[in-house]
Amino acid sequence: MSGSLTFDSSSAAFFGGVRSAFMSVFFLVLAGTYVGLGALAHDFGLSIVWLTLSTLLVWAAPAQVILISGIGTGAALIEVALAITLSAIRLFPMVVALLPLVRTRDTRLGDLILPTHFTSVSMWVESLRLLPVLAPERRAAFCNGLSVGYMSAAIGFGFVGFYLAAGLPPLLAATLLFLTPLSFLISTARNARMMMDRLALGFGLVLGALLTMLHVDFDLMWAGIGGGTLAYVIHRAREAAT
Amino acid sequence: MSAALSDLWPYLILVTVGFLPNEIWRVLGLVLARGLNEDSQVVMWSRAVATATLAGVIAKLLLFSSGSLAAIPLGVRLAAAAIGFVAFLLAKRSVFAGVAIGEVVLLAGGYLFAN
C-alpha cells in the first residue's frame, strides 16, 4: 500500500489524491448524500447554480441541509446562521489536527488556505489515514487532489439529484440517508489505531446519545469536548504509567 | 425589491448565513494550528475532541434520524449499524464490506418492519 503512494512530483500527488477519492467508500457516501441534497434544493425552488455554489463555498453537508431547508421553510435567518455555526464547530479541532500533518518547514500560510477550506469529515478521515505514509512535501498536493475529487463527486451527484428529484422511493431514500452515519462509524473505527482514538469514538457515541436524549443544549459540543478530553486524559495517564 | 436584487437574494443568504458562519471555524483552526507540530499535546487533544464530536454526530443521526430514514424503526437502524460494524471487523477491517452489509440489513429490515 505505501509503495503505491510514492509520488515524483506535486502534480502526480494531486492526481493520486483524486484517484484515492474516487476509490474510497466516501465516494459512495457523497453520491448518496448529494443526490438527496440535490432533490431537496429542487423541491425548495433553489437553482442548480445556487446548489453548486453552496457545495463549493460551504462544503459541509449538514450545514447545507440546514441552509436549504431554512431558506425553503422561511425560517428566521439569524436562527439558520446560528444552527449552521453550531454544526460547524467540529471543523475547528479537525483543522487543528490536520494542518500539522500537511505542513512542512517551507510551507507558506497561503498554501494552507485550500486544505483548510477543504476540511470536511470525508477528507479529514482519509487524510489522517493516508497522509502519514506520504513524503511531507507531497501531502498538501495529495490532500487538495483528494478534496477536488470528493467535491467533484458531490457537485456531479447534486446535479443527478436535482434533475431526478422526488422520483426516489422512500425505502431507497432511507438507504441513502443511512450511508452517512454507517460509513462515518466504520471508517472512524478503521482509523482508530491508537487506544486514544478508540476511547474517543466510544465515549463520543455514548455521550452523544445520552446528551441528545436528555435534550441538552449544544449536545454535540459537550459530547466532543467531554468525550475527547476523557480519552486524552486516559491516554496521558497510560503513557505516564509506562 | 427590484428584479435584479430578488435574483441575487438567495446568493446573498448563501454567503452571509451559510458560508461565513461555517467557514469561521476552519479559519480559527488555521490561525490556532500555526506553529503546532503533529506530536504536540494540543494537536493530540484536538484529534480526540474531533473524533468524539464525530462520534456524537453518528449517535445523533442514528437515534434521531430525519426524512425517510425516520420511517425505519429505531431497532432496525441500530441493528443495521451493529451488524455492519461486526461485518467490518470480520472482513479484515474492510469498510466497503461493513457498509454494504449494514445497508443490506437496513433495506431488509425496512422492507419487513416499515412503520
The span from the first CA to the last CA of chain A, in angstroms, equals 32
- Count of beta carbons in the 10 Å neighbourhood of residue A107: 16
Q: Residue A59 phi/psi, 5° resolution?
A: 50, 50
Predicted confidence band of residue B76 (pLDDT cuts 50, 70, 90): very high
Question: Nearest-CA neighbor of A207 among A179, A230, A190?
Answer: A230
For residue A52 the three cell numbers come to 453548486
Tell me what the mean pLDDT of segment A126-133 comes to.
94
Report the residue of chain B nearest A227, measured CA to CA: B52
Report the residue of chain B nearest A192, measured CA to CA: B51
What is the distance in angstroms between the Cα of A14 and the nearest Cα belonging to chain B? 21
Query: CB of A207 within 8 A of CB of A226?
Result: yes
* A133 close to B (CB below 8 A): no
- Residue B69 Ramachandran class (φ > 0 left, ψ -120 to 50 alpha, else beta): alpha
Domain boundaries, chain A: 3-191, 193-242
CA angle A166–A170–A175, rounded 5-degree value: 110
Tell me what the mean pLDDT of segment B78-92 comes to.
96
| Out of B32, B40, B48, closest to residue A200 by CB | B48
What is the distance in angstroms between the Cα of B63 and the nearest Cα belonging to chain A? 7
Please tell me the least confidently modeled range out of A13-22, A61-70, A97-106.
A61-70
Q: Residue B111 phi/psi, 5° resolution?
A: -65, -40
Map grid coordinates 473505527 to a residue.
A189
Residue A4 pLDDT > 70: no
What is the distance in angstroms between the Cα of B22 and the nearest Cα belonging to chain A? 5
Best of A57, A96, A183 to mutate (most B CBs within 10 Å, chain B): A96
Give per-residue burial for A114-148: e unless 16+ CB within 10 Å, then b. Answer: ebbbbbbbbbbbbbbebbeebeeebbbbbbbbbbb
The residue that leads in pLDDT, B53 or B65, is B53
Q: Taking CB atoms and an 8 Å cutoff, what residues of chain A touch B12?
A: none
Number of helices followed by number of strands (H, E) in chain B: 5, 0
Portion of chain B with pLDDT greater than 70, in percent = 96
What is the distance in angstroms between the Cα of B11 and the nearest Cα belonging to chain A? 7
What is the distance in angstroms between the Cα of A158 and the nearest Cα belonging to chain B? 17
Predicted confidence band of residue A124 (pLDDT cuts 50, 70, 90): very high
Tell me what the mean pLDDT of segment A67-89 comes to.
84
pLDDT tens sequence across A8-64: 999 999 999 999 999 998 998 898 889 878 888 887 889 999 999 999 999 998 889
pLDDT tens sequence across A168-201: 788 888 888 888 889 889 988 988 888 999 999 9
Residue B66 pLDDT > 80: no
Q: Taking CB atoms and an 8 Å cutoff, what residues of chain A touch B81?
A: 181-182, 185
Handedness of CA A53, A54, A56, A57 (dihedral sign): positive
Query: CB of A192 within 8 A of CB of A198?
Result: yes
Predicted confidence band of residue A2 (pLDDT cuts 50, 70, 90): very low
Half-sphere exposure of A96 (CA within 13 A, CB side): 23
Contact B29 A95 (CB under 8 A): yes
Whole-angstrom distance, CA of residue B109 vs CA of residue B114: 8
Tell me what the mean pLDDT of segment A119-139 comes to.
94
Contact A174 B46 (CB under 8 A): no
Tell me what the mean pLDDT of segment B44-67 comes to.
87
What's the ipTM? 0.86
Between A and B, how many residue pairs show a Cβ–Cβ distance under 8 A? 303
pLDDT score of B64: 84
Contact B67 A173 (CB under 8 A): yes
Instruction: Determine which helix (DSSP H) or strand (DSSP E) holds A51, and give its type and residue range.
Output: helix A48-57
For residue A161 the three cell numbers come to 439529484
